[in-house]
């Protein structure tokens, strides 16, 4: 009997050990299952993140290609703009040369017209009209001369002092006296005023001016 009791105790302890081992193994198994589930979840999240990262990389590559294409197009536009600017500048220079040539031709024609006018005036001088001789006096007229006041002789100046009325010079107007060799174009360029405005200010019918003529060129 005494021997059976220790055997029973050993058997009970073994049973408890087996139960404990089973409980421990079950807890380990459950822990492993939980860890496996967490691992699978983390793995799934990692795969999703890798897919998103790959999508972002593809999108970044597409954006980089678009940026490169945009830069290339911008460089082409800038080159074309520089080319067009050069063409516009060349056209402006050509137009300026044409304008200068036109003004030079106009100036030479004005000089020719002025020279022809001077030659015409020098070749055909204006003859002064001679004063008419007084009629012969009779004795009847002599008696009336004593009582009549003396008459002032009328002098016909002809074309000496007759000039076309010039423009009315206002107070504060700046005048220019025409010198030999000057033309209306040169005077307008000198004072920075248009030829038409200069003609309008001085009431000139054409571009012909005389040496010594006073022209209104602006306000002081």
Can you say whether residue 209 is alpha, beta or left, with left for phi > 0 and alpha for psi between -120 and 50 degrees?
beta
Question: What CATH number has the domain bearing residue 204?
Answer: 3.10.350.10
Helix (H, G, I), strand (E, B) or coil at 216: strand
Residue 126 contacts residue 158 (beta carbons within 8 Å): yes
Give the predicted TM-score (pTM) of the model. 0.33
**Domains contained in the chain, number:** 1
* Domain contains 15: no
* Domain contains 23: no
* Domain contains 195: yes
* Domain contains 161: no
* Domain contains 22: no
* Domain contains 75: no
Looking up tokens 């030079």 gives 104
Long-range CB pairs of 45-48, under 8 A, 24+ apart, other chains included = none
pLDDT one digit per residue (tens) for the chain, 220 residues: 445 555 666 777 777 778 888 887 777 777 777 888 888 898 898 889 898 999 999 889 999 989 999 998 999 989 989 989 999 998 988 888 888 888 878 777 777 777 777 777 777 555 455 555 555 544 444 444 444 444 434 333 333 333 444 555 565 678 999 999 889 899 999 999 898 998 999 999 888 888 999 999 887 6
Tokens of 91: 């056209």
Q: Give, in order, the Cα–Cα distances in Å from 51 to each of 3, 47, 57, 124, 153.
A: 71, 6, 10, 107, 124
191: containing domain:
172-220
* Domain contains 190: yes
């Amino acid at each position: 009997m005494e021997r059976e009791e220790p055997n029973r105790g050993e058997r009970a302890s073994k049973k408890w050990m087996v139960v404990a081992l089973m409980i421990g193994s079950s807890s380990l198994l459950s822990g492993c299952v939980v860890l496996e589930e967490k691992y699978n979840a983390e793995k799934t999240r990692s795969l999703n993140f890798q897919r998103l990262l790959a999508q972002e990389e593809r999108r970044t590559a597409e954006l980089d290609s678009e940026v490169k294409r945009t830069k290339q197009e911008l460089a082409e536009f800038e080159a074309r703009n520089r080319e067009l600017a050069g063409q516009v500048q060349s056209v402006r220079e050509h137009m300026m040369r044409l304008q200068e040539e036109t003004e030079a031709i106009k100036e030479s024609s004005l000089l020719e017209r002025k020279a022809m006018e001077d030659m015409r005036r020098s070749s055909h001088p204006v003859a002064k009209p001679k004063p008419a001789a007084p009629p012969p006096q009779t004795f009847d007229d002599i008696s009336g001369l004593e009582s009549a006041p003396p008459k002032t002789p009328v002098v016909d100046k002809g074309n000496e002092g007759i000039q076309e009325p010039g423009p009315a010079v206002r107070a504060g107007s700046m005048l220019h006296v025409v010198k030999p060799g000057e033309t209306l174009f040169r005077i307008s360029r000198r004072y920075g005023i248009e030829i038409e405005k200069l003609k309008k200010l001085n009431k000139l019918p054409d571009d012909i001016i005389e040496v010594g003529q006073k022209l209104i060129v602006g306000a002081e």
